[in-house]
């Protein structure tokens, strides 16, 4: 795992793109001030995805398929579709979120923009049954274990690229809160949250590595645009690397937490033994 700066050429997103206007990020005067942070996030995320897709060879294909988990209003989904379409990569993008109203709105907006291979699907991430093969799995701030669901999809399909910016990692936080020994030393809830975030995401990195993924951890935007600015960027490089799972198990016992949903899903699927 390395912390890197990507060297992508700047991807200049034009504020007058129809999808930005339709989704309410901009109007004919430009980016709405209250949407500047989201605009920065989706621009930078798309830029990094473009870089990773190119490195993985996916951009040599005639068509690139992407799935977006916890898509919400689809700001990022539209940005990725727009980018791939403009680069003649004939995109197919499926966006999944359990919020059916937002998925309906997303489909209406996709129609208005003429994004014919973009579909918004109302479902829970861990119940989505339309999984075939996607070159990339992405998620931007999918809540709590929905990020594990996204990572698992990518691992199960052996996607070329998995890009997830996690959010509100509650699962490990709950087990840390139960540890009386820890509360003697950590009095501030904020520290416990930060610790849970790091343990969760570090576990995710090791589990990705166990399946032969190279993982970069990137501060993808400045914290003024979001505090949740960690991006897990994984690219499939080789076959399974069981030693990383052994390291994860030692980590779990050393830190003494119960493990994360991703591990359980991988065990159930037979990806780990």
Give yes or no for residue 70 binding ligand SAM (CB under 6 A). Answer: yes
Give yes or no for residue 37 binding ligand SAM (CB under 6 A). Answer: no
Give yes or no for residue 164 binding ligand SAM (CB under 6 A). Answer: no
Ramachandran angles phi, psi of 80, nearest 5°: -70, -45
Which residue stretch of 8-16, 135-143, 151-159, 202-210 sits at the interface with ligand SAM (rule: CB under 6 A)?
135-143
Give Cβ neighbours of residue 214 (< 8 Å, ≥ 6 apart): 234, 235, 237
Give yes or no for residue 103 binding ligand SAM (CB under 6 A). Answer: no
Give yes or no for residue 141 binding ligand SAM (CB under 6 A). Answer: yes
Of 125, 205, 218, 266, the one binding ligand SAM by CB under 6 A: 125
Separation of alpha carbons 80 and 70, rounded Å: 15
Of 49, 146, 155, 262, the one binding ligand SAM by CB under 6 A: 146
Given a contact cutoff of 8 angstroms between Cβ atoms, the answer to whether 87 and 59 are in contact is yes
Bridge partner list, 3: 217
Residue 158 backbone zone (phi > 0: left; psi -120 to 50: alpha; other: beta): left
Q: Retrieve residue 138's tokens.
A: 């992405």
Of 25, 26, 52, 72, the one binding ligand SAM by CB under 6 A: 72
By DSSP bridging, strand 230-236 and strand 213-219 are: antiparallel
Give yes or no for residue 99 binding ligand SAM (CB under 6 A). Answer: yes
Residues lying near ligand SAM in the complex (CB under 6 A) are found at 70-73, 75-76, 96-99, 124-125, 140-143, 146, 149, 167
């Amino acid at each position: 795992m390395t912390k890197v700066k990507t060297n992508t050429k700047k991807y200049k997103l034009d504020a007058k793109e129809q999808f930005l206007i339709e989704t309410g990020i901009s109007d004919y005067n430009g980016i709405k001030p209250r949407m500047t942070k989201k605009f920065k996030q989706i621009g930078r995320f798309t830029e990094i995805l473009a870089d990773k897709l190119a490195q993985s060879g996916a951009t040599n294909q005639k068509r690139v398929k992407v799935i977006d988990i916890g898509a919400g209003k689809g700001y990022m989904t539209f940005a990725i579709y727009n980018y791939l379409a403009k680069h003649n990569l004939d995109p197919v993008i499926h966006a999944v979120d359990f919020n059916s109203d937002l998925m309906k709105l997303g489909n209406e907006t996709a129609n208005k923009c003429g994004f014919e291979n973009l579909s918004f699907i109302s479902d829970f991430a861990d119940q989505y049954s339309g999984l075939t093969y996607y070159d990339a799995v992405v998620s931007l701030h999918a809540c709590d274990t929905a990020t594990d669901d996204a990572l698992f999809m990518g691992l199960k399909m052996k996607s070329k690229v998995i890009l997830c910016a996690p959010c509100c990692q509650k699962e490990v936080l709950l087990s840390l809160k139960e540890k009386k020994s820890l509360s003697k030393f950590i009095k501030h809830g904020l520290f416990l949250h930060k610790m849970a975030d790091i343990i969760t995401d570090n576990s995710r990195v090791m589990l990705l590595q166990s399946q032969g993924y190279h993982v970069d951890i990137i501060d993808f935007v400045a914290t003024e645009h979001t505090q949740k600015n960690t991006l897990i960027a994984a690219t499939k490089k080789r076959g399974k690397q069981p030693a990383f799972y052994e390291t994860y198990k030692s980590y779990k016992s050393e830190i003494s937490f119960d493990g994360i949903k991703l591990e359980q899903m991988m065990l159930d699927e037979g990806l780990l033994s």
